[in-house]
Amino acid sequence: MGKLKSPAFLIILAFFAIYVIWGSTYLLNKIAVTELPPFMLASIRFITAGILIFIIAKFMKIKLSVTRKQFINSTIAGFLFLSFGNGVVVWALKYVDSGFAALETAAQPLVVLLLMRVLEGKKIKAMSVIGIVLGMAGMFLLVSQKQVINQEGTILGMSMIFVCIISWGYGSLFVAKADLPPNFFVNTGYQMITGGITLLVASLLFREQWTYPTQWSQPVQLSMILLIVFGSIVAFTSFNYLLRVVSPEKVATSSYVNPIIAMVVGWYFLNEQITFQSIMSALVLLTGVYFINTKKSLIIFSRFTKRIKYKKGEVIIKNIE
């Protein structure tokens, strides 16, 4: 399925949503999960957001009908992105600082590249190999910190986050080619509803204790509202939109910006510690995405190799094959 043509300003706004808004959701989830069970939190967030999307779509006279295949694909995407890809990350935030969690997810573009190689047989160019090596170095810097190794439950939490990264990466490749509802808003709604229902079942299986919103503290109530409206409806719709108009590797670069936003807001609002090693890890990871996604880096590198060629006007990430 070819990429759809879309106005540049819409693409810019969509990238702002997945870069900045999603970067802030780590803080909001961290605040909420300190008081609410993780799967309950995630299920309420996504089911509520899905219902609101359908209500808005109805008022806008957008058709909600989809084919059986589109519904099944939306359910699969909802599981990969939300039920597992997000729900387990929320659970892991009980043991991991929001900044650490966001920084670990910066490995997602690297995982996408490797999955494209394994599943689609696409060759990884030299510049991307450098990016992968830098990404691994950054991950090592992150997880080798004493406060990570010595803190109880942190290793388990970070291990589960990495599994979620694989789920999200595979979901990105799946959505880019799957037959999904043509309207991005409706597509998001179906993923939210099906993913939220799966999380609801998980919450019941784990026997989480549910509480009424009136029993939540004011910070948790505010966090849930922001997660539903901006983190779910706005940002996730933008994410699904971008997956259909640009390459999945480019969408995955949000994982490099999210950690910076998450670390700053986590430090400011929750007094989470930002260590020198964490800063170095972030710098190494960001350098990795620079090598993966910019033409300029290719020009610099080609001066040394004299073997890498590129076509004028093409983005380096599109030359992976």
pLDDT of residue 147: 62
What pLDDT sits at residue 150? 63
Choice among 5-9, 24-28, 161-165, 198-202 with the minimum mean pLDDT: 5-9
pLDDT digits (tens, 9 = 90+) for 57-67: 999 999 999 99
The answer to whether the CB of 108 falls within 8 A of the CB of 168 is yes
Q: Which of 246, 107, 108, 129 is nearest to 171 (CA)?
A: 108
Q: What is the pLDDT of residue 310?
A: 35
Mean pLDDT of 167-172: 90
pLDDT at 278: 80
309 three-state secondary structure: coil
∠ at Cα 267 (263, 286), nearest 5°? 20
Which candidate, 307, 321, 290, places its Cα nearest to that of 123?
321
End-to-end distance of the chain based on CA atoms, in angstroms?
17
- Each residue of 16-26: pLDDT tens digit? 999 999 899 99
- Per-domain residue ranges of the chain: 10-209+216-319
d(CA 14, CA 126): 29
Model confidence, pTM: 0.79
Higher pLDDT pick, 106 / 312? 106
Please check whether residue 256 is in contact with residue 285, taking contact to mean a CB–CB distance below 8 angstroms: yes
